[in-house]
Structure 1
Amino acid sequence: MRLSRPDDAVVDEAALWMALLQSEHVTDQEREAFETWCGADVRHQQVIDQMSGGLRLLRTNALRRVPSQSVLHSVNAPSSRRRFVVGSLVVALAAVLLGRREGWPGAFGELYTGTGERKPFTLEDGSHLTLNARSRVINLFDARQRLLELRAGELWVDVAKEAARPFVVQTEHGLIRALGTQFLVQHGEDSTRLVMLHSRAEVLTRGGVRQVVEAGQSVCFDAHDILATQGTKGDENAWTQGRLEVHDRTLAEVIDRLGNYRQGILRLSPQVAGLRLSGIYPLDDTDRTLLLLQHSLPIRVTYHSAYWVSIDPR
């Protein structure tokens, strides 16, 4: 039986296994865990078979110079993982890893973080920028404007006052023009979210829809329209201090955020994805956070290996 379009979750897991297997740090125990994963579901082996061309690519001389961390960072981005099988893994890896003019992440004008990283930056105008884990920003400042292009992940910015040049954050869905100081921007696959922490900002979608967002408001928009406007919950910027602070959020949301701070697979059962919780958890110690979640919810956390953890009903 040929698998034409596998489930997204299986694609995600297979792509992560592939990145781990080409790493110089893979252990015998992790190889055994991979074999166990392949045998756990017929779809797993089918997806790996579809990716066999990509495995050959990863072993070619052209990619041996690429640090394994760079490959893991690329496949850990959700939009990249989707492209591996649905399109072509070979083409996708070439586009992600080889298509940049300057080579690897860190090219001129690019700011980025890997899994589990947060980085503060002071921009040339004195603005303070912090990137969440697995984030990438292109700095496009020039004499007329201060422009940041958010390609992936999430940023927090405290904008320095400068009347001559507007401060703008751009995503594929539209523009955010600062009318004040502090705000967060989250780049999703299908939409962008702005969380206004202080003063105001103006959103302009690619389709031309405008909205001014006040402090204490959160707006989600895509290229065509404003999708939702709501009040902030007060936990949105806790990550800048290394905390995952949640108020009445689903376990699926929590695990999605936690996944940016952990290499490998965090497999969440749909049966418990909708459980709601509130609490404060450490981002920089994901094992401790998983233990706390297991103690407070009717879930079971199982470590198949350091890179493969499943969360199921207890």
Structure 2
Amino acid sequence: MRFTTATCCATKTRIEVAPSPNAVKQAIQWMLKLRESGNNITLLQQCEHWRKADREHELAWQRVVALHQDLDLRAIPGAGLALQTLETSQQRLRRRQALKLLGGVALVGSAAWLAKDMDSINTWTSDLATTTGERRTFSLPDGSILQLNTRSAVDLAFTDQQRLIYLKQGELMLSCKSGHPIRVRTRDALIEGVEGNVVVRQEADCTRVSVAQGNIALYPSADRQLLIGSYQEWRVDNMGAHRLDHVDMDASAWTEGLIVTRDMRLADFLVQVSRYRHGYLSCSDDIANLRLSGVYRLEDPEHLIQLLPQTLPVRLNRHTRWWIRLESVA
């Protein structure tokens, strides 16, 4: 069961179909080749032939040209990997008219930044979703409260037979009301709660489950059930389910607009802050293991980053407004 809202408009709007991710990838390949070749005549002719071969090719080329007005594509050290990333970016291309959203943001450092940005949620294909830095609260049909953290999306399947939330990306907190069970499905596990609060975060290689209050049933596989009580945090991946003995961050603090750390590595802290801002944020290897403990407000990630040199022996190296790298003061 999908919850959608339809709108009508009396005036006709010209709808332009976005080029496929593959066409955009090819267009960027041509752009990179031409930039590196010094405008080789033969290559120019080959590119022209490619553009004329299909209307979609020309549309993709125009999108990339518009992007290139703001970005220097030569600044992508991992261009090959970045181009591979584009193949999986169909949702983003549809929502934001190809790569126009990236205008004014430098593609720098490596393909990792591009891959992260390409993972942004397509709000048009999800029942409920949030964008970068956004947190939202929803009342579900059964009276349960669902909160979504930054860059998160879910689909809902509420029928007479089941109440299911499919976490497609990101993080949620579910406050269950007593009554029939409500389930959360991720890539790695099925979580079932009857009453209480549970936080579920889907990461690239695992699902993290934290019970803030109450009890839940965790199914890491179809034939295994784990009963989890309050204040427990678990990691589920392709190796199974594992309880975490050391937790360096309060899993539910984001619902109050906070990051609360306990002896957390600087590198891991920056990964968390990166979820709430656009761009690329990293640190050099020699300071990655510096530790932080404290309470940090999420309402202004840039200000939060500015505060780090006041408590740690680090300095901010700004390559652009969006690309920040922390380095040692030594």
Equivalent residue in structure 1 for 2:293, among 278, 281, 294: 278
Between the aligned partners of 1:183 and 1:278, the Cα distance in structure 2 is 23
Match of 1:204 in 2: 219
Q: Does 1:161 align with 2:178?
A: yes
Q: 1:161-188: CA deviations, max 9, x gaps?
A: 223xx20011111111103211100111
Between the aligned partners of 1:152 and 1:57, the Cα distance in structure 2 is 14
Q: Which amino acid aligns with 1:213?
A: I
Match of 1:257 in 2: 272
In structure 2, relative to structure 1, the CA distance for the partners of 1:295 and 1:303 (3 Å cut) is same
In structure 2, relative to structure 1, the CA distance for the partners of 1:265 and 1:22 (3 Å cut) is farther
Match of 1:66 in 2: 96
Deviation at 1:63, TM superposition (A): 4.8
In structure 2, relative to structure 1, the CA distance for the partners of 1:231 and 1:142 (3 Å cut) is farther
Do 1:216 and 1:232's aligned partners in 2 also have CA atoms closer than 8 Å? no
Match of 1:106 in 2: 124
Between the aligned partners of 2:136 and 2:189, the Cα distance in structure 1 is 24
Q: Does 1:142 align with 2:172?
A: no
TM-score scaled by length of structure 2? 0.67
Q: Does 1:295 align with 2:310?
A: yes
Between the aligned partners of 1:70 and 1:144, the Cα distance in structure 2 is 43
In structure 2, relative to structure 1, the CA distance for the partners of 1:71 and 1:205 (3 Å cut) is farther
Match of 2:148 in 1: 131
Deviation at 1:22, TM superposition (A): 5.9
Q: Does 1:242 align with 2:272?
A: no
Q: 1:6-52: CA deviations, max 9, x gaps?
A: xxxxxxxxxxxxxxx9697x798x647x76xx3xxxxx43x225656
Between the aligned partners of 2:248 and 2:100, the Cα distance in structure 1 is 34
Secondary structure in structure 1 of the residue aligned to 2:270: helix
Q: Which amino acid aligns with 2:79?
A: I
Deviation at 1:253, TM superposition (A): 1.8
Q: Which amino acid aligns with 2:178?
A: K
Between the aligned partners of 2:65 and 2:162, the Cα distance in structure 1 is 41
Identity %: 28
Match of 1:48 in 2: 79
In structure 2, relative to structure 1, the CA distance for the partners of 1:122 and 1:309 (3 Å cut) is same
Between the aligned partners of 2:221 and 2:87, the Cα distance in structure 1 is 39
Secondary structure in structure 2 of the residue aligned to 1:199: strand
Between the aligned partners of 1:119 and 1:63, the Cα distance in structure 2 is 24
Deviation at 1:265, TM superposition (A): 0.6
Q: Which amino acid aligns with 2:130?
A: T
Q: 1:82-126: CA deviations, max 9, x gaps?
A: 7x89xxxxxxx8xx89xx9xxx5233x621111111111111111
Q: Which amino acid aligns with 1:105?
A: T
Q: Which structure: larger Rg?
A: 2
Between the aligned partners of 1:175 and 1:53, the Cα distance in structure 2 is 31
Q: Which amino acid aligns with 1:180?
A: E
Residue ranges of structure 1 left out of the alignment (5+ in a row): 1-20, 39-43, 73-80, 86-92
Between the aligned partners of 1:69 and 1:56, the Cα distance in structure 2 is 13
In structure 2, relative to structure 1, the CA distance for the partners of 1:27 and 1:295 (3 Å cut) is farther
Between the aligned partners of 1:69 and 1:123, the Cα distance in structure 2 is 34
Between the aligned partners of 1:229 and 1:57, the Cα distance in structure 2 is 32
Do 2:168 and 2:186's aligned partners in 1 also have CA atoms closer than 8 Å? yes
RMSD after superposition: 3.6
Deviation at 1:214, TM superposition (A): 0.4
Match of 1:312 in 2: 327
Between the aligned partners of 1:194 and 1:53, the Cα distance in structure 2 is 31
In structure 2, relative to structure 1, the CA distance for the partners of 1:125 and 1:221 (3 Å cut) is same
Do 2:279 and 2:323's aligned partners in 1 also have CA atoms closer than 8 Å? yes
Between the aligned partners of 1:218 and 1:282, the Cα distance in structure 2 is 23
Do 1:175 and 1:205's aligned partners in 2 also have CA atoms closer than 8 Å? yes
Residue ranges of structure 2 left out of the alignment (5+ in a row): 1-62, 103-110
Do 1:251 and 1:276's aligned partners in 2 also have CA atoms closer than 8 Å? yes
Q: Does 1:176 align with 2:191?
A: yes
Deviation at 1:57, TM superposition (A): 12
Task: State the aligned residue count.
Answer: 255
